[in-house]
Chain A
């Protein structure tokens, strides 16, 4: 089994990490399956099998649960490389990572149920508020709801959903002001709505709507839903990976899909430009100074965004490693979320 030994320092060479090398090595396979993924609107089972073997679905789980306990830069790089191969693959691995962090906030018996010894757990669903309503019953809740964006529902074992609890028809409000709870539903017992993911891009994510109706959800698979969209509720697990604020994960995870796709776009033009002679022209595309300028600018913008994003995350990590404050008033915490739109700008050049 691959393991990542978490140090208090981030790895000096992220690309040398075995799981990152596995992602790079899998890119041709991802490309091989791309047409099938898009057509079937799901990751092919053969590819999912290889992703399990590479450890991509347990990147962020603690070692005590069979995970790799990866640092965020390693996780982001894996997502980025997979997105270079196919955006949908990167997206689903990214979302599984955040989903698995969320599940670490469940009660202990819930965590053990989701991640039994030798598990091959994949988490799908959505981490944002709302979608379901529940009524408290002995030992848990009866939940009904419809959730959108169930990315990865076809390869998942568990679906993550958010709901409100109704007392006499009125939403329950906690002392902290929160009004939402989370629950984990067995994938085999939810209904995925056909035709609810008719989209122009990321078709392969299979981000279909899904529903449950009057479903008994035991207390052990529920937790409060803190934060907008979510706070770190997994900080009781040991290691800096789990002490980082949610902003080090949520946002960077989708940003990594953007930067992976942006790299794929630049590479696609570079490959095309070597051979293509546009109609009515005599020279190849690569001989056109405007194309040369665009490729050079795109590479600079993409990498400046990537470096900014990674530097903000590294600052957060290092602050924790050194016992410094990482509250929202600190520069790294503020810089971390705003690095997402900054890197996302790279897409405009692609």
Chain B
């Protein structure tokens, strides 16, 4: 979306810029990290998923 917005996207006041900035910050949250995939995978495989899912 950001790319297709062209030069509008990087103007500080644009809605696309606002959303992009906020998304990058939320996406850094540990609860959303890709490391949850192997944790879930270990549970599905019958292995100890570790303390985060125990």
Q: Residues of A with Cβ closer than 8 Å to B? A: 34, 38, 87-88, 91, 128, 199-202, 227-229, 247, 250-251, 253-255, 257-258, 261-262, 264-266, 268-269, 271-273, 276, 278-279, 285, 288, 290-291, 294-295, 298, 328-329, 331, 333-335, 337-338, 340-341, 344, 347, 349-350
Contacts and interface: CB of A to CB of B under 8 A. Distances in A.
Given A269-B1, A337-B39, A338-B36, A262 B23 contact: yes
Interface in B1-54: 1-2, 4-8, 14-16, 18-27, 29-34, 36-37, 39-41, 43-44, 46, 49, 51-54
Closest 9 CB pairs of A and B: A87-B22, A338-B40, A201-B21, A334-B43, A201-B25, A251-B31, A268-B15, A265-B19, A344-B32
B23 A265 contact: yes
Contact of B40 (A38, A279, A337): A337
B19 A87 contact: yes
Nearest to A35: B13
A199 B4 CA distance: 25
A328 B16 contact: no
Given A272-B8, A328-B49, 11 more contacts: A87-B26, A91-B26, A199-B25, A254-B31, A255-B31, A255-B32, A257-B26, A276-B8, A285-B6, A334-B49, A337-B40
Nearest to A330: B43
Contacts of B20: 201, 265, 350
B34 A341 contact: yes
A272 B16 contact: yes
B32 A258 contact: yes
Contact residues of B: prevailing secondary structure:
helix
B23 A250 contact: no
B23 A333 contact: no
B25 A265 contact: no
B2 to A, nearest CB: 7
Contact of A338 (B6, B19, B37, B46): B37
22 contacts: A201-B25, A202-B25, A229-B52, A262-B23, A265-B16, A265-B20, A265-B23, A268-B14, A268-B19, A269-B5, A276-B8, A290-B4, A295-B1, A331-B44, A334-B39, A334-B53, A337-B39, A338-B36, A340-B31, A341-B32, A349-B1, A350-B20
Contacts of A329: 43, 46
B29 A285 contact: no
A272 B5 contact: yes
Contacts of B33: 341
A88 B22 contact: yes
Contacts of A255: 31-32
Nearest to A335: B40
Nearest to A199: B25
A21 to B, nearest CB: 24
Contacts of B6: 276, 278-279, 285
Given A261-B19, A294-B4, A254 B29 contact: yes
B32 A350 contact: no
Contacts of A38: 18
B52 A337 contact: yes
A247 to B, nearest CB: 7
A198 to B, nearest CB: 12
Given A333-B43, A338-B39, A261 B26 contact: yes
Contacts of B34: 341
A228 B51 CA distance: 6
A341 B36 CA distance: 7
A291 B29 contact: no
